[in-house]
Amino acid sequence: MSLDERFESEVMPHARSLYGTALRLTRSPQDAEDLLQETLLRAYRGFASYRPGTNVRAWLFTILHRVRTDMLRKRGRSPQTTELTDDGPAVVPEHETRLTSGNEDVQRALAAVPEVFRSALVLRDIEEFSYEEIAGILGVPVGTVMSRIHRGRAHLRRLLAGRTP
């Protein structure tokens, strides 16, 4: 099997879940497309040195998060510096504070969680990576992963609690 065929069969099936995560991180279809595209291009460049049999999914999400960090750095933003200090819920638009129930409300609440916590939540609760895998993907200690997930869920709980009359 050629390298291109392996890339097609091992990497491309993950494109949709990478796109989902990209959209949840960027909250913009255009940015999500750019993020996914750059992720796949980097993956393609690095695929020759990627060892078959290792965790291709975790490898792809690691690339995605590095690309995202680079994108934010270029824009002069960093989730670590601007959002880590934000302990309370992000500013949530008026209509999003009166959430009722259902997926859309959860999606909106998740989108309102600061990105540094949101990325940990998406990796854990949606993509169901283990703490160790998330630590590898984000390049932080397992204790930090635990802390970010905890705080992310606390954010989400407060946002969702705001929906009840």
Partner 1 sequence: MSCEPEKVTALVDDALAGGERDRALAHLAGCPGCREQADTERAIHEQLRRLPSPEMPPGLDTRLRARLAERRPSPPGRLALLALPVAAVLLLVVWARGLAPVVAWELSEDHAHCYSHAEPPARVRSTDPAVVGGWFSGQGTPMPSLPAEVGGTRLFGARYCYLPDVSAAPHVYYIGPGRRLSIFVLPHAARFDDGYRVRSGGRTVALLHVGPTVVGVVGENPADVETAVQRLRADPGSRRALAEELALSR
CA distances from 12 to 5, 110, 121 (A): 10, 26, 24
Separation of alpha carbons 98 and 138, rounded Å: 33
**Residue 136-165 contact track with partner 1, rule CB under 8 A, x = bound:** ------x---xx-xx--x--xx--x-----
Is residue 36 a contact point for partner 1 (CB under 8 A)?
A: yes
Question: Rounded distance, CA 137 to CA 122, Å?
Answer: 12
Q: Does 121 bind partner 1 (CB under 8 A)?
A: yes
Candidates 5, 120, 1, 11; CA nearest to 56 is: 11
Secondary structure class of 101 (helix, strand, coil):
coil
What angle separates helix 131-138 from helix 56-74, to the nearest 10 degrees?
Answer: 40
Q: Which is nearer to partner 1, 78 or 146 (CB)?
A: 146
Closest CA to 86 of 77, 94, 73: 77
Q: Is 57 in the site for partner 1 (CB under 8 A)?
A: no
Binder of partner 1 out of 110, 116, 137, 138 (CB under 8 A): 110
Judged by beta carbon, residue 48 or residue 76, the one nearer partner 1 is 48
Residue 63 binding partner 1, by CB under 8 A = no
Pick one of 74, 95, 128, 164: the residue that binds partner 1 (CB under 8 A): 128
From 19-27, 52-60, 75-83, 88-96, give the range in contact with partner 1 by CB under 8 A.
19-27
Residue 66, phi-psi category: left (phi > 0), alpha (psi -120 to 50), beta (remainder)? alpha
Counting contacts by CB under 8 A, is residue 49 touching partner 1? no
Residue 88 is given by DSSP the state S
The contact set with partner 1 (CB under 8 A) reads 4, 7, 15-17, 19-20, 23-24, 29, 33, 36-37, 40-41, 44-45, 103, 106-107, 110, 121-122, 124-126, 128, 130-131, 142, 146-147, 149-150, 153, 156-157, 160
